[in-house]
A and B are shown apart, each in its own frame.
Chain A
């Protein structure tokens, strides 16, 4: 699922597999997103309505 090495100042990219795993609350994705927030504080503008 990972698309590359996360460097200290790089943005987050999610593909649809990751998004689906997130919606299913897969632990490794939840932890990776939490780690991203902890490091970079840069969530994008998610529109979950598009997922419905």
Chain B
């Protein structure tokens, strides 16, 4: 199983709500800034405008601005030159990164998700007399996927910062890599956390010490393994998490009596023991995992990180509104009718197997 994680390029199409371009686009000598205001998120971004390529007769004006050293924004204003007016037909927003990195992808995902959830985005370059009000509509599911990807990119970026190493990221991540990223992230940020665990198989040498250890371990509702040095290999990099332990909650030791009997032989032979969690959960403790510094991020990145709860709430509000809209305009009787659980009747009951075969 694999997941597409980090694309160098993301693109979004916008409708123009208001504004336009002056014909021709004024020539400028000094460096100017592209200003982007997103009122729904109370965000105002300002970034150096590196290039302005105006080819109105061919129906295109291109603006290129740099967000930081790893990400650039490219806005293409498409339209038609009719007499002395440039009639805008659409604006295309794209992010580019010179190389694959979690940080570049995180910035791109955040911007695209924020634009996709905003009712309006204002682009402003006063020196070029550019003032556009745009609407970047995106399907909710797209934005949801983008936020999911953003979360993964943030976690990778955080791990990189904590261990002082930049990963060489593949374009696709496997489900196992996604899970390992989550585990290392939780180890660094939360240190102690619950984790899905069905069963753990271990091999104990048959000794008196381990016999007593297993016997004592069976007395409690949970089973904690002795802390051991923990490591995970992420994208080819060995990450040391320090001494860590796993506790199996609501434990059940399979064939406990047999396992105990084998351990009593005290002859050092390997005894396989399977410890299952009846609730499917365990708890990891990583007290010595790497740590982040107190102020690990630059202001721009910190601002984008801090957007997370706002991005979530905007997306969730849209989903809530969609759910509510399915009942809007209906009478109470109609609502009751469409929300009543269906009765499938006998035809959908599972037949008694003996009766069926008689």
Size range of the interface on B? 20 to 34
Q: Looking at chain B's contact residues, is the secondary structure mostly helix, strand, loop, or mixed?
A: helix
Residues of chain A with a CB closer than 8 A to B150's CB? 41
> Which residues of B (233-279) have their CB < 8 Å from a CB of A?
279
Q: Judge whether B182 is part of the interface by a CB distance below 8 angstroms.
A: yes
* CB–CB B182/A22 < 8 A: no
With contacts A5-B279, A43-B141 taken as known, whether A22 is within 8 angstroms of B195 at the C-beta atoms is no
User: Which listed residue (A5, A19, A37, A52) contacts B316, Cβ 8 A?
Assistant: A37
* CB–CB B324/A37 < 8 A: no
* CB–CB A25/B323 < 8 A: yes
B150 CB → nearest A CB, Å? 7
B214 CB → nearest A CB, Å? 26
Residues of chain B with a CB closer than 8 A to A23's CB? 323-324, 326-327, 339
Count of CB-CB pairs between chains A and B under 8 Å: 73
With contacts A25-B320, A37-B316, A43-B144 taken as known, whether A48 is within 8 angstroms of B281 at the C-beta atoms is no
Which of A37, A41, A48 has most chain B Cβ within 10 Å? A41
Residues of chain B with a CB closer than 8 A to A34's CB? 312-313, 316
0 or 1 for each of A14-26: is its CB under 8 Å from B? (1 = yes): 0011011011110
* CB–CB A42/B148 < 8 A: yes
Q: Judge whether B338 is part of the interface by a CB distance below 8 angstroms.
A: yes
Q: Judge whether B41 is part of the interface by a CB distance below 8 angstroms.
A: no
Residues of chain A with a CB closer than 8 A to B304's CB? none
10 further A-B contacts with Cβ under 8 Å, apart from A38-B309, A45-B141, are A7-B281, A8-B186, A9-B195, A20-B339, A22-B320, A23-B339, A24-B339, A37-B147, A37-B312, A43-B319
